[in-house]
Amino acid sequence: MSRNPFQSVRTYEDLLKVNVRFLQGRIHSTPYQLAPVDAETVPLLGNLTDINRRGFFSFEGQPTMRSDLEIKRGYIIGFVPTRTFDAFLSRFLRQDVAYKVEVPDGDGTLMFHNFIDFTKPNVVTWEKRNGRWVSYTAIMNESTRDAELSAYEEYPVIKNILARDCVMMSLIQSSETSPTVESVLQDCLPPLPPPARRG
């Protein structure tokens, strides 16, 4: 019986490579999904593979979907290394000064959830107005991150990497006319620095 590739993960970069293999159909399950990729995810696979290669470990999401009864907003949840998080925020805000706190309205809204630094507000929602991102904040339940990490109980190395070295976040598309969450990540993720040399 072949070794579970997630058992071989030793670094965040290893985890990204294994997740890309799952998105490519070369691995049929993960700690966060015990079956192959969902049909609704198939159209997103190219973008998901790209953002994982760029350093965003994605584990949940959906495209925007419309039915007769409702519109489900597109979203993505995953982890980004703390060493690139500030650069991500800088690119995301696209301005030189601290973001302006406002209550947004209209279709330009994107929600960003920070599940790791509970000294700061855990949900920040940005909206692009007049070419600048503005935001408002809210608080979410702190147990969310721990609940997601529980999927990795059998993979203590992965759990430790995600808990110690990463920020868990989600982006939520506010409407069908907003940029897709995948395109925002592709635009804003900084290059992933080379991994630190092992002792």
pLDDT per residue as tens digits for the range 163-196: 888 877 777 776 666 677 788 788 888 988 876 6
If one counts the domains in the chain, the total is: 1
- Distance between CA atoms of residues 60 and 63, nearest Å: 11
What range defines the domain where residue 62 resides?
A: 5-188
pLDDT in tens, 112-143: 554 444 444 455 555 555 555 444 444 444 45
Within a domain: 61: yes
Within a domain: 193: no
Within a domain: 29: yes
Q: In what order do the strands lie in the sheet with 132-138?
A: 57-62, 75-81, 166-173, 109-114, 123-129, 132-138, 100-101
Within a domain: 182: yes
Within a domain: 134: yes
Residue 47: predicted pLDDT = 93
Within a domain: 135: yes
Query: Residue 88 CA to chain centroid, in angstroms?
Result: 11
Residue 80: predicted pLDDT = 86
pTM of the model as a whole? 0.76
Measured over the CA atoms of residue 191, residue 197, residue 198 and residue 199, the dihedral's sign is negative
pLDDT in tens, 83-112: 888 788 777 766 333 333 333 344 344 555
Task: Provide the 8-state DSSP code for 48.
Answer: H
Within a domain: 157: yes
Within a domain: 196: no
C-alpha distance from residue 41 to each of 45, 55, 110, 144 (Å): 6, 19, 20, 23
